[in-house]
Structure 1
Amino acid sequence: MRLDKYLKVSRIIKRRTVAKEIADKGRITINDKVAKSSSEVSIGDVLVIAFGNKTLTVKVSALVETTKKELAADMYTVVAETFKEN
């Protein structure tokens, strides 16, 4: 599954266009390699997403084409969540 679609379906990022933008700016890595929005995501991959003042590290646990809001969190496991100090 494409990275931008995975981020939208799992609801880590609400909109696919925003997910594509963040990925294309080099702010997402898959298994320590910089990822593009078209990069393929597999079960077991570790994603590191750099938001403004937060860095989120998640492990992919499921890939589904569509899901309900309540089940979206089952698609990943949060490994770490760090915040930058001002």
Structure 2
Amino acid sequence: MECPEEPYDGELQPGDVEIRFRPLSPLDRSGLTVVIEIKSKWSASREANRQERVDALHADIRAATRLVDFGVYLSLPSAAWSQGD
């Protein structure tokens, strides 16, 4: 999700990535084996090509994991983040 507004230096820091797993509840419905939800703060450059970004993420995840029946949901809310030292 690198962008000019938030350049990435190649070094992940605590809080940069969170991975969460949750089982489907009896009320959930999905025809997919896995749904990957990605949230990143909104920026103009991310907004401009969000579909291309999510398509590239899907292709990269497929190549890395060999998953077939999965979806990627990209959310770009207007947000702020603060994490203490």
TM-score by length of 1: 0.27
Q: Which has the larger radius of gyration?
A: 2
